[in-house]
């Protein structure tokens, strides 16, 4: 069968093939474990220690959740740790995909803006300077722009998801948690990897990585990634089958200089490019099968009826983005501790061109240009391990310039259908400069043999300045500087039961800076959010089992939320501190090595997240009484409701995943690994008024990996969402209609890789 025809293979056949291989391989694996290896296989295993082999026990997990390397069982924070191998086996290729292996995390979108939510704490605001409630950190550097925080994973060593507020040790606005991404660093040991993937919808992915030593004190690395696809979205208005076609690429290079044994400098540069309409291809602004505009029926309009369809006359839904980032990490060992300096300059240029072109009219064409320039500097000092007092202290500085000019080509409508409207060449633009300065410390003292007390504090000063809002009138609003200051303490008591396990109780706080609603021209400031978190947990990490259990309660106040108000007869979208919330729940995760062949990981989260007070929550009622609606029948309007007692948005009650892996050595010394990951979420809402609900669903991914005896060659057959479950990834609600974006259908693919080191 030609490889091009892979997209026509039924995913259920791939699932069946993997299950059949699992059953068939089990006896061979058992025999391989009890039989003596041949001389050929024994010699190849000895000569090439990099060849993967079934592991009888789990490796110790070391995390950096407290800005130092520590065994995971000694860290009193709920952490989901994902190694590079786990990410591959679960089919994780972008940062947003980690939701399928991280219970309690959702990675949703508002247009092109990634909006992660952890344990119900997130945001639905997409404003200049508003930021996220979940911080994303790449190699220790803060990434502030939500438009670039769902990216292709390149040369990843591990990802850590920290749940709960991280107000003492990490940068801005980490009320919900933090996502720490660690990539490969240059090495003096030569290493080369190349991989090629082909999957459904003519999706091609090519990745390579190379590192080597240049001199005794210089090492270099470079990695590249290129992905292209025809996409799975069809345009039924013009017959285009590649309306969702996309291209992504990334290049990252690093230079490590170690002039002395106690001093090192790592210079990194990365460039990424994205041409991807996936989050902008909405399945129509429709209601009851009829699309309308300004209360008038539009004859001849083609209606979408499938998650795979859009209905634009022209293929003009595009998202172009380029990111350039330069980072310098300096480390100095001064005997009793280590000083680390993180210096970053980040320039991002994103452009969205969206056209609501239907078969009978051309509506508003939008060109949204986002410019983001960020400088960050952090100094971090850590004590050496081995003393009763362990300490961390630091200073964090951020300067972020964020500009959102929006250009519109106006409304052009057929005169026979609707009145012609004058074109608008410029609609609106807004921008802010955001500065943050913070000083922090975190101390852990061993009170007794098994008792540890941790105290931490962070003082943050935030400023939003140079804010403006410009409209086509022309009208210009300039905003005065808005400052906010907040101290966020943390206290933890931990009892170390033995070397493998401990239990803890913690109190921590989170804070999200004050902002202006510059995108809506609202002049009143929106005050900071605050969150108090109480958590008790138990951790265990042994040779066969790693487990993590925690229960938590959040007191969440002054949420920065959207409301509607009618001023001079015009409905306006406003942002204010209209909500308070209570959140409680529990997390549980376990990684279990049954024997040298079988390994299981299991995770679950229960979150009960309720708005205790939310007056004026936005809602979009649909006019369904023909007698009173007349020509506006079926149109969605703007309204408000009292959402007190409603579920918080993007906060399912239950999420969980289960992933078995079977590994066996085959005759001749090659290794076969069969793995799967099943993810389930209960129902949830995309809006605080609980109007737009996504029902519970589950997705299944399967994978079969073969590795040569030398460990240099490998091949894989995989399937993602093999049950072809379709669900919404975002809902964009407003008058006169509702837009919806959907997940990808089932995908099957093959992967080939080569590694030399």
Residue 383: CATH number of its domain? 2.40.170.20
Tokens representing 729? Answer: 């990834």
Q: Where residue 292 falls among pLDDT bands split at 50, 70, 90?
A: very low
- What confidence score (pLDDT) does residue 102 get? 93
- What confidence score (pLDDT) does residue 572 get? 66
C-alpha span between 355 and 352 (Å, rounded):
10
Determine what percent of the chain is predicted with pLDDT higher than 90. 53
Choice between 754 and 275, residue whose per-residue pLDDT is larger: 754
Angle at 698 between CA 693 and CA 704, to 5 degrees: 150
Q: Are 732 and 110 in contact (CB under 8 A)?
A: yes
Q: Are 675 and 705 in contact (CB under 8 A)?
A: yes
As a whole number, mean pLDDT of residues 704-714 equals: 94
- What confidence score (pLDDT) does residue 751 get? 96
Non-local CB neighbours of 65 within 8 Å, separated by 6+ positions: 75, 77, 79, 160, 162, 180
Choice between 405 and 144, residue whose per-residue pLDDT is larger: 144
DSSP SS3 for 675:
strand
pLDDT value at 651 more than 90: yes
As a whole number, mean pLDDT of residues 447-465 equals: 94
Choice between 32 and 75, residue whose per-residue pLDDT is larger: 75
As a whole number, mean pLDDT of residues 178-200 equals: 94
Tokens representing 420? Answer: 């012609």
- What confidence score (pLDDT) does residue 6 get? 39
pLDDT value at 159 more than 50: yes
- What confidence score (pLDDT) does residue 533 get? 96
Non-local CB neighbours of 503 within 8 Å, separated by 6+ positions: 494, 495, 497, 536, 537, 538, 539
- What confidence score (pLDDT) does residue 682 get? 96
Angle at 339 between CA 333 and CA 341, to 5 degrees: 130
DSSP SS3 for 75:
coil
- What confidence score (pLDDT) does residue 209 get? 96
Sole residue written with tokens 């407290």? 66
Q: The domain containing residue 602 runs over which residues?
A: 3-756
Phi-psi region of 445 (alpha: psi -120 to 50; beta: other; left: phi over 0): beta
pLDDT value at 746 more than 50: yes
Cα 53 to Cα 34, 84, 192: the distances in Å are: 15, 16, 20
Tokens representing 515? Answer: 């902002």
As a whole number, mean pLDDT of residues 463-478 equals: 84
As a whole number, mean pLDDT of residues 127-131 equals: 82
Cα 297 to chain centroid, rounded: 40
Tokens representing 694? Answer: 């996504």
DSSP SS3 for 450:
coil
- What confidence score (pLDDT) does residue 719 get? 95
Torsion angle (degrees, nearest 10) of CA 107, 110, 115, 118? -60
As a whole number, mean pLDDT of residues 555-567 equals: 82
C-alpha span between 515 and 398 (Å, rounded):
16
DSSP SS3 for 718:
strand
pLDDT digit string (tens) for 217-260?
999 999 999 999 998 888 777 676 777 888 999 999 999 999 99
The DSSP code for 8 is: G
pLDDT value at 404 more than 80: no
As a whole number, mean pLDDT of residues 394-407 equals: 85
- What confidence score (pLDDT) does residue 5 get? 38
Determine what percent of the chain is predicted with pLDDT higher than 70. 80
- What confidence score (pLDDT) does residue 535 get? 97
C-alpha span between 704 and 18 (Å, rounded):
6
As a whole number, mean pLDDT of residues 322-335 equals: 94
Number of domains in the chain: 1
- What confidence score (pLDDT) does residue 8 get? 39
As a whole number, mean pLDDT of residues 618-635 equals: 78
Q: Which residues pair with 300 in a beta bridge?
A: none
**pTM: predicted TM-score of the whole model, two decimal places:** 0.86
- What confidence score (pLDDT) does residue 393 get? 95
As a whole number, mean pLDDT of residues 561-574 equals: 68
pLDDT value at 107 more than 80: yes
pLDDT value at 122 more than 80: yes
C-alpha span between 112 and 467 (Å, rounded):
22
605 membership: H or E segment, kind and range: strand 598-614
Lowest mean per-residue pLDDT among 342-351, 410-419, 441-450, 714-723 = 410-419
Lowest mean per-residue pLDDT among 63-77, 613-627, 648-662 = 613-627
C-alpha span between 141 and 324 (Å, rounded):
14
pLDDT digit string (tens) for 477-497?
899 999 999 999 999 999 999
pLDDT value at 361 more than 60: no
Q: Where residue 318 falls among pLDDT bands split at 50, 70, 90?
A: low
Closest to 262 measured CA to CA, from 379, 186, 326, 340: 340
Closest to 464 measured CA to CA, from 539, 533, 545, 398: 398
What average pLDDT does the chain have? 82
- What confidence score (pLDDT) does residue 136 get? 92
Q: Where residue 214 falls among pLDDT bands split at 50, 70, 90?
A: very high
Q: Where residue 280 falls among pLDDT bands split at 50, 70, 90?
A: low
Among 45-49, 257-261, 383-387, the range with the most confident prediction by mean pLDDT is 257-261
- What confidence score (pLDDT) does residue 637 get? 79
As a whole number, mean pLDDT of residues 176-180 equals: 92
- What confidence score (pLDDT) does residue 316 get? 53
**DSSP line for 114-178:** EEEEETTB------TTT--SEEEEETTEEE--GGGSS-B--SEEEEEEEES--TTTS-TT-SSEE
pLDDT value at 39 more than 60: no
pLDDT digit string (tens) for 638-650?
888 999 999 999 9
Q: Are 190 and 757 in contact (CB under 8 A)?
A: yes
pLDDT value at 423 more than 60: no
pLDDT value at 75 more than 50: yes
């Amino acid at each position: 069968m030609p490889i091009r025809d892979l997209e026509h293979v039924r995913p259920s056949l791939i699932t069946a093939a993997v299950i059949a291989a699992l059953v068939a391989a089990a006896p061979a694996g058992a025999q391989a474990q009890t039989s003596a290896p041949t001389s050929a296989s024994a010699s190849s295993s000895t000569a090439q220690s990099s060849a993967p082999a079934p592991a009888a026990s789990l490796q110790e997990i070391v995390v950096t959740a407290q800005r130092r390397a520590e065994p995971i069982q000694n860290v009193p924070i709920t952490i989901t740790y994902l190694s590079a191998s786990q990410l591959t086996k679960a089919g994780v290729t972008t940062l947003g995909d980690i939701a399928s292996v991280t219970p309690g995390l959702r990675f949703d979108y508002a247009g092109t803006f990634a909006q992660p939510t952890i344990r119900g704490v997130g945001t639905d605001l997409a404003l200049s300077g508003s930021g996220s409630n979940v911080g994303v950190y790449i190699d220790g550097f803060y990434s502030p722009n939500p438009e670039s925080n769902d990216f292709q994973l390149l040369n990843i060593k591990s990802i850590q998801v920290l749940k709960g507020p991280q107000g003492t040790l990490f940068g801005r606005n980490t009320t919900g948690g933090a996502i720490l991404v660690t990539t490969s660093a240059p090495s003096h040991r030569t290493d080369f990897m190349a991989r090629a993937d082909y999957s459904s919808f003519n999706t091609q992915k090519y990745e390579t990585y190379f590192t080597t030593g240049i001199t005794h004190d210089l090492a270099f690395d470079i990695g590249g990634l290129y992905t292209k696809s025809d996409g799975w979205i069809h345009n039924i208005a013009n017959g285009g089958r590649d309306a969702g076609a996309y291209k992504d690429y990334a290049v990252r290079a690093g230079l490590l200089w170690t002039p002395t044994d106690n001093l090192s400098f790592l210079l990194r540069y990365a460039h990424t490019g994205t041409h991807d309409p996936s989050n902008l291809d909405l399945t129509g602004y429709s209601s009851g099968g009829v699309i309308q505009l300004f209360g008038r029926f539009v004859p001849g309009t083609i209606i979408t009826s499938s998650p795979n369809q859009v209905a634009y006359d022209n293929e003009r839904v595009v998202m172009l983005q380029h990111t350039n980032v330069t980072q310098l990490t300096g480390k100095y060992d001064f005997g009793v501790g280590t000083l680390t300096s993180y210096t970053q300059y980040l320039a991002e240029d994103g452009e969205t061109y969206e056209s609501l072109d239907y078969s009978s009219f051309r509506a508003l064409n939008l060109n949204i240009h986002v410019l983001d320039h960020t400088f960050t500097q952090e100094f971090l000092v850590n004590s050496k391990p081995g003393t009763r007092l362990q300490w961390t202290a630091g200073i964090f500085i951020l300067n972020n310039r964020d500009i959102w000019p929006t250009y519109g080509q106006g409304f052009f409508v057929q005169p026979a259908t609707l009145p012609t409207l004058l074109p608008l060449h410029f609609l609106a633009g807004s921008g802010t400069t955001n500065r943050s300065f913070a000083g922090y410390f975190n101390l852990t003292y061993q009170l007794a043999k098994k008792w540890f007390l941790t105290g931490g504090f962070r003082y943050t000063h935030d400023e939003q300045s140079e804010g403006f809002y410009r409209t086509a009138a022309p009208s210009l609003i300039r905003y005065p500087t808005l400052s906010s200051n907040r101290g966020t303490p943390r206290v933890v008591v931990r009892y170390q039961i033995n070397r493998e396990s401990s239990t803890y109780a913690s109190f921590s706080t989170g804070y999200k800076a004050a902002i202006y609603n510059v995108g809506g021209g609202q002049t009143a400031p929106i005050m900071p959010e605050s969150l108090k978190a109480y958590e008790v947990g138990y951790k265990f990490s042994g040779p066969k089992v790693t487990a993590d259990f925690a229960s938590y309660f959040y007191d969440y106040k002054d949420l920065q939320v959207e409301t509607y108000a009618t001023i001079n007869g015009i409905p306006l979208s406003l942002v204010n501190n209209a909500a308070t919330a209570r959140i409680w729940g529990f997390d549980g995760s376990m990684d279990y090595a049954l024997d040298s062949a079988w390994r299981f990981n299991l995770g679950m989260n229960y979150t009960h997240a309720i708005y205790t007070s939310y007056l004026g929550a936005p809602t979009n009622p649909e006019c369904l009484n023909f007698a009173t609606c007349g020509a506006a029948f079926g149109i969605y309007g703007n309204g408000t409701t009292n959402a007190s007692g409603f579920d918080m948005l993007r906060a399912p009650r239950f999420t969980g995943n289960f992933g078995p892996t079977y590994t066996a050595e085959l005759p001749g010394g090659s290794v076969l690994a069969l793995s799967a990951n099943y993810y389930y979420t209960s129902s949830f809402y995309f809006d605080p008024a609980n109007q737009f609900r996504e029902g519970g669903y589950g997705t299944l991914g399967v994978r079969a990996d073969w590795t040569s005896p030398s460990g240099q060659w490998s091949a894989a057959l995989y399937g993602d969402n093999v049950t072809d479950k379709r669900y919404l990834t975002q809902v964009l609600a407003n008058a006169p209609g509702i837009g919806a974006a959907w997940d990808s259908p089932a995908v099957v693919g093959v992967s080939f890789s080569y590694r030399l080191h």
